[in-house]
Amino acid sequence: MDDTYHPARLDYGLTTFFGQITKTVDCEVGLETVPDDPYRFTLCVKAPVPDDLDQAKIIVVKVKGRTLQGTVRHFERRDDKSLKLEVEPD
């Protein structure tokens, strides 16, 4: 992934014992396509990352005048404390 991050607003859904909860965070993100699956996209959230973001099931990102949303299929915590999410659009 390139080192180009952009200010973004993330809305993410968590499934809890009490049902679905939606949280919002302002952060910096980078976007790229997924190799071998151009339908999906990868969202890299620059540190600091909310502690519970890796538990997100649904995510909506507003960045550079665009809104992208989908289901989180895979996540990876990176050595630089960022979080990489693979998202399948709805």
Q: What is the pTM of this model?
A: 0.89
> How far is the CA of 50 from the CAs of 6, 26, 27, 63, 83, in angstroms?
17, 10, 10, 18, 10
Residues 32-88 have pLDDT tens digits of 988 888 899 999 999 999 999 999 999 999 999 999 999 999 999 999 999 999 999
Q: What angle do CA 16, 9, 21 make, to 5 degrees?
A: 15
- Half-sphere exposure of 14 toward its Cβ, with a 13 Å CA cutoff? 14
Average pLDDT estimate for 2-30: 92
Q: How many domains does the chain have?
A: 1
Who wins on pLDDT, 38 or 9? 9
Close Cβ partners of 42 (under 8 Å, ≥ 6 residues apart):
1, 31, 32, 33, 34, 84, 85, 86, 87
75 domain-assigned: yes
1 domain-assigned: no
**Residue 66, domain CATH:** 2.40.10
Task: Say what the pLDDT of residue 1 is.
Answer: 45
Task: Say what the pLDDT of residue 13 is.
Answer: 96
